[in-house]
Amino acid sequence: MQAFFDVKQRTARAVRLLFLTTLISAAPAVIHAQEDSQREPERITEPNLSVAEAPRQNLSGLEWLERLAQINRTSNFEVSFVLTRAGQEMTPYLWRHAVLEDGLEAEQLNLQNGPGQEMIRLGNVVSVFEPDVQPYSIYA
C-alpha cells in the first residue's frame, strides 16, 4: 500500500511540474517580444498575428499569463531546465511540446539524471514511466 501511495504522490508532483513548466516555457517568447518592442515599431498589416509577434501593449498580469498560455498551446519547442530547491539536489529535465497535425497537443518530460523517469502527455492523458514501477496513465 505504501508503494502505491508513493507512486500517487510522485504522479501528483509530476503533473504539478508539467503545469509549472508550461507557464515557464513561454517566457523566452515573451522576452523576445519585449526586446523587439524596444526597437522602432513596425507597421503590421496582417490580421492574424501570432501572440509573440503582436506589438507591445500595456497588458495586465492576467493578460500576460493568457498570452503565455496561448503561446504554450500553439508552439512546438524543446526546453532544458534545472529544478533547484534549497538544501536538495538539482534536478535537470528535458521538456518537449508539439502540436500535431490534427491539433492534438503532445508533451514529453524526461528526468535527465538518475534512474530515469519519463512522462508523455497526449491530449488529456498523461502516461508515466519509471523504473521498477508498472507504467500507468491518468487523465489530467
Q: Which residue has the cell 490534427?
A: 102
pLDDT score at 95: 94
* pLDDT at res. 82: 94
**Residue 70 main-chain phi, psi, to 5 deg:** -65, -45
Report yes or no on 34 lying in a domain.
no
Identify whether 135 is part of a domain.
yes
> What pLDDT band is residue 14 in, cutting at 50, 70 and 90?
low
Least confidently predicted of 2-6, 33-37, 122-126: 33-37
Mean pLDDT of all residues in 6-20? 56
Give the integer Cα–Cα distance in Å for 118 and 14.
Answer: 10
CA distances from residue 54 to 97, 98, 99, 114 in whole angstroms, order as listed: 22, 22, 21, 41
Question: C-alpha grid cell for residue 15?
Answer: 503533473
**Backbone region of residue 132 per phi and psi (left: phi > 0; alpha: psi in -120 to 50; beta: other values):** left
How many domains, in total, are found in the chain? Answer: 1
Over pLDDT 90: what percentage of the chain?
Answer: 41
β partners of residue 99: 105
On the question of pLDDT at 111 being above 90, the answer is yes
3-state SS assignment for residue 36: helix
Q: Is residue 86 part of a domain?
A: yes
Kindly state whether residue 80 falls inside one of the protein's structural domains.
yes
Confidence of residue 68 (pLDDT cuts 50, 70, 90): confident
Domain that holds residue 109: 76-140
Considering the domain boundaries, does residue 59 fall inside one? no
Of residues 17 and 79, more confidence is placed in 79
Q: How confident is the model at residue 2 (pLDDT cuts 50, 70, 90)?
A: low
The answer to whether residue 93 sits within a structural domain is: yes
Higher pLDDT, 49 or 72: 72
